[in-house]
Amino acid sequence: MDERMTRLWAGAEAEAIGRGGLAMVSRATGLALNTVKRGRNELRDGAKSDDIVRATIDRRRYPIGKKVTPKQMRELKIEPHTFHGDWNYTIHPRPIAP
């Protein structure tokens, strides 16, 4: 099961349990409460486990060996996700300078 399927499954279990289901599924699976809640909400909004996710391969060439300083890293607006935040994250754009 991929991350999305796990989230939807956990949300479905919590919904089936009813009151207290979110916390119960979170504790039993080790998933964050927000992950289970998000899965439940996605199901309530009409998500189906057989929805198709499409991806394409980016075949462009990118420069390699470019060094990023610690200062540059600190300036990035990186928001780690609740599930494996060390490699699942969002990089927010920087504000445009006047």
Asked if residue 93 is part of any domain, the answer here is no
Cα separation, 8 vs 42, whole angstroms: 7
Asked if residue 7 is part of any domain, the answer here is yes
Q: Whole-prediction pTM value? A: 0.50
Q: For residue 85, which phi and psi values (nearest 5 degrees)?
A: -60, -15
Asked if residue 60 is part of any domain, the answer here is no
Query: Which residues, 6+ apart, have CB-to-CB distance to 23 below 8 Å?
Result: 33
Query: How do residues 45-97 score in pLDDT, each as one tens digit?
Result: 887 766 666 667 888 988 888 898 999 888 888 888 888 878 888 888 877 77
Range of the domain at 14: 3-44
Residue appearing with tokens 């300083």: 69
Give me the number of domains the chain comprises: 1
Maximum separation of any 2 CA atoms in the chain, in Å: 53
Predicted pLDDT at 53 = 61
